[in-house]
């Protein structure tokens, strides 16, 4: 490790050691290479560009999206004796002149700038007269057109590679799935080999995902393990949030609600009570998230499928900031898949955006239906990795597998024979040979697949269908009614009939006592 970097770490920041991948990244940049850094919020990204920028000759140029963020960083750096400044468009003329003089005479270590300011006429040319140690583009995911934080001016930052071809460039972000990552690398001209992805693991968080079969009873059992502790219960809708909070209060919990339909004062009051409370259960929609700063959130439960794997990671990540063991539970069922698919299909988003959203949903279903370690699936989504963790439900109780080849064939043919338009419940009824008016009305009690699945019960068939969806053999329809159809891979499967191992849903736990109202 370069002695200079270590010295800066000690004298400027007062830290004794680099954390995680910081040392490797800092070395890599000091040596003059480009870098892409994907690390979760709080992972320690700032040091990764600040230290090489200070250690290398010249001034570091930092592109950052928010003035407030820049101002905080600049004042912290100045207090630590670093010559840092922000170039922003509303500086008084005199300060502006002084700042440019400092830039051009090598009087600065770090210069922060918003992309819009950087791209304004003449700025790049003048910066060309300064000696740059490196260029860092913070929050680089803002250049992704399909992301939620798209910022058109970020798109134009590809000019930096042409304007300063010999200056090391780095891009940093906390949120980037594989397509966004590829987009950032390609756009800024950074090689795959220069990517550093690490720090996503939250080893103290236990992951568990279960079929939603009796959500209130399942939630109660989960909460029973957390008496006297605070946590969050996420619901999809405002109504369900209110109802669940009221139910939990009736059950004796100190439960509060939080969603966008409440007035500001009430939301603030509830957030404060959660923040300072000892054993508060916050029942919330995703509106509750920004600015939660409670270190001892001991559990996070999802009563509905989250929006994406990133959302799941972020929301569960609100547990255990203090590093102590924390617990999570996500419940989901076929209705969730149908609902999420409908959200996607009914939105006004352009087709390409919908395609990304569908892929994101698939990734989340892959996590939910995996027979392997949840943490491995979760981390690999971000490009990070770990050994089987021993702290997730599938590690602790490895799911039982069975040869599902025949079952998959039966399910697929049943979907095919009923015309690829019915939902899960109907398909399962036909497989089980249930006699009802609806099935008779469509004449499906006469087809060859009627009653061919009586060797399994309805719960197992539902689990099989969910896995076929997660494996992309079956599609949930695009019209939004939850109808199942056979995906291209499903047709191949019917033709080639390869072996397929599927997981058996874990047995329902015997529950202590009776649960009312569920
Ligand atoms: P990010 O930008 O990735 O969200 P920050 O750079 O703001 O994260 O760092 C998060 C926190 O971790 C900060 O308080 C920072 O001072 C601290 N930190 C970063 N690196 C180290 C280190 N090597 N040792 C101790 N604390 C560190
Ligand atoms: Zn695991």
The CB density around residue 239, as the number of other CB atoms within 10 Å, is 11
pLDDT of residue 179: 81
399-432 burial code (b ≥16 CB/10 A, e <16): beeeebeebbebbbbbbebbeeebbbebbbbbbb
Question: Helices (H) and strands (E) in the chain — how many of each?
Answer: 23, 18
Residue nearest (by alpha carbon) to ligand 1 atom 24? 15
Tell me the whole-structure pTM to 2 decimals. Answer: 0.81
- Asked if residue 276 has its Cβ within 6 Å of ligand 1, the reply is no
Q: Which atom of ligand 1 is nearest to the CA of 43?
A: 3
pLDDT of residue 517: 41
Q: Which ligand is nearest to the CA of 200?
A: 1
Q: How far apart are CA 453 and CA 432, in angstroms?
A: 5
Closest by CA position to 467, among listed 436, 443, 500: 500
CB 198 within 8 A of CB 39: yes
- Asked if residue 18 has its Cβ within 6 Å of ligand 1, the reply is yes
The CB density around residue 125, as the number of other CB atoms within 10 Å, is 9
Cα 379 to middle of ligand 1, angstroms: 21
Q: How far apart are CA 266 and CA 272, in angstroms?
A: 10
Closest by CA position to 369, among listed 457, 472, 286, 458: 472
Closest by CA position to 378, among listed 503, 201, 206: 201
| HSE-CB of 489 using CA atoms within 13 angstroms | 11
Q: For the CA atoms of 19, 24, 29, 32, what is the dihedral angle to 10 degrees? A: 160
pLDDT of residue 480: 62
pLDDT of residue 210: 95
CB 203 within 8 A of CB 389: yes
Q: Which ligand is nearest to the CA of 17?
A: 1
Q: How far apart are CA 215 and CA 304, in angstroms?
A: 9
CB 197 within 8 A of CB 189: no
366-383 burial code (b ≥16 CB/10 A, e <16): bbbbbeebbbbbbbbbbb
ipTM passes above 0.90: yes
Cα 181 to middle of ligand 2, angstroms: 25
301: exposed, middle or buried (C-beta count within 10 Å: 0-12, 13-18, 19+)? buried
Closest by CA position to 412, among listed 505, 507, 500: 500
- Asked if residue 62 has its Cβ within 6 Å of ligand 1, the reply is no
pLDDT of residue 512: 46
Q: Which atom of ligand 1 is nearest to the CA of 16?
A: 24
Cα 71 to middle of ligand 1, angstroms: 17
Q: How far apart are CA 259 and CA 239, in angstroms?
A: 9
Q: Which ligand is nearest to the CA of 47?
A: 1
pLDDT of residue 518: 38
pLDDT tens, the chain, 518 aa long: 789 999 999 999 999 999 989 999 999 999 999 999 999 888 899 999 999 999 999 999 999 998 888 898 999 999 999 999 999 888 899 999 999 999 999 999 999 999 999 999 899 999 999 999 999 999 999 999 877 789 999 999 999 999 999 999 999 998 877 788 899 999 999 999 999 998 899 999 999 999 999 999 999 999 999 999 999 999 999 999 999 999 999 999 999 999 999 999 999 999 999 999 999 999 999 999 877 889 999 999 999 999 999 899 999 999 999 999 999 999 999 899 999 989 998 999 888 888 888 888 988 999 999 999 999 999 988 888 899 999 999 999 999 999 999 999 999 999 999 999 999 999 999 999 999 999 999 999 999 999 999 999 999 999 999 999 988 899 987 566 778 999 999 999 999 999 999 999 877 765 444 444 43
Residue nearest (by alpha carbon) to ligand 1 atom 23? 18
The separation between the first and the last C-alpha atoms of the chain, rounded to the nearest angstrom, is 59
Out of 21, 46, 64, mutate this one to test ligand 1's pocket (max ligand atoms within 8 Å of CB): namely 46
Q: Which ligand is nearest to the CA of 43?
A: 1
pLDDT of residue 450: 97
Residue ranges with CB less than 5 Å from ion ligand 2 = 373, 375, 389, 392, 395
- Asked if residue 20 has its Cβ within 6 Å of ligand 1, the reply is no
CB 56 within 8 A of CB 134: yes
- Asked if residue 200 has its Cβ within 6 Å of ligand 1, the reply is no
Residue nearest (by alpha carbon) to ligand 1 atom 16? 44
Q: How far apart are CA 92 and CA 344, in angstroms?
A: 48
Q: Which atom of ligand 1 is nearest to the CA of 48?
A: 6
């Amino acid at each position: 490790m370069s002695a200079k970097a270590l010295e800066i770490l000690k004298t400027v920041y007062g830290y004794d050691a680099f954390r995680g991948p910081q040392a490797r990244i800092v070395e890599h940049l000091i040596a003059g290479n480009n870098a892409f850094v994907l690390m979760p919020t709080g992972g320690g990204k700032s040091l990764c560009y600040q230290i090489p920028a200070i250690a290398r000759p010249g001034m570091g140029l930092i592109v950052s999206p928010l003035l407030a963020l820049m101002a905080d960083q600049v004042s912290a750096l100045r207090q630590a004796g670093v010559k840092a400044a922000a170039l922003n468009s509303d500086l008084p003329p005199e300060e502006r002149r002084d700042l440019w003089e400092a830039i051009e005479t090598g009087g600065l270590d770090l210069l922060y700038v918003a992309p819009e300011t950087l791209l304004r006429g003449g700025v790049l040319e003048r910066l060309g007269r300064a000696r740059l140690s490196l260029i860092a583009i913070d929050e680089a995911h803002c250049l992704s057109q399909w992301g939620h934080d798209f910022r058109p001016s970020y798109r134009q930052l590809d000019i930096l590679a042409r304007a300063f071809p010999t200056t090391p460039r780095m891009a940093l972000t906390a949120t980037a799935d594989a397509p966004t990552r590829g987009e950032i690398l390609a756009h800024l001209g950074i090689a795959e080999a220069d990517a550093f992805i690490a720090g996503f693991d939250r080893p103290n968080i236990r992951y568990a995902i279960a079929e939603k079969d009796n959500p209130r009873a399942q939630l109660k059992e989960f909460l029973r393990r957390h008496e006297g502790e605070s946590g969050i219960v996420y619901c999809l809708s405002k109504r369900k949030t209110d109802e669940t909070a009221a139910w939990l209060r009736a059950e004796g919990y100190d439960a509060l609600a939080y969603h966008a339909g409440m007035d500001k004062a009430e939301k603030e009051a509830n957030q404060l009570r959660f923040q300072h409370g000892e054993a508060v259960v916050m029942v919330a929609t995703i509106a509750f998230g920004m600015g939660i700063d409670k270190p001892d959130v001991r559990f996070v439960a999802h009563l509905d499928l989250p929006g994406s794997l990133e959302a799941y990671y972020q929301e569960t990540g609100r547990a255990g900031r203090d590093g102590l063991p924390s617990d999570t539970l996500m419940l989901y069922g076929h209705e969730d898949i149908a609902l999420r698919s409908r959200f996607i299909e009914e939105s006004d988003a352009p087709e390409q955006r919908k395609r990304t959203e569908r892929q994101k949903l698939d990734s989340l279903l892959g996590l939910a239906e995996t027979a392997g370690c949840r943490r491995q699936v979760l981390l690999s989504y971000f490009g990070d990795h770990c050994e089987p963790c021993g702290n997730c439900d599938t590690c602790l109780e490895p799911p039982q597998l069975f040869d599902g080849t025949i079952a998959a064939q039966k399910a697929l043919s049943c979907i095919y024979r009923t015309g690829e338009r019915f939902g899960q419940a109907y398909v399962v009824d036909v497989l089980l040979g249930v006699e009802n008016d609806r099935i008779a009305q469509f004449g499906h009690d006469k087809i060859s697949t009627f009653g061919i699945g009586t060797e399994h019960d309805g719960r197992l068939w539902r689990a099989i269908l969910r896995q076929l969806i997660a494996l992309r053999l079956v599609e949930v329809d695009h019209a939004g009614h939850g109808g199942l159809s056979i995906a291209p891979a499903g047709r191949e499967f019917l033709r080639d009939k390869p072996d397929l191992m599927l997981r058996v849903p874990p047995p329902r736990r015997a529950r202590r006592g009776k649960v009312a109202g569920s």
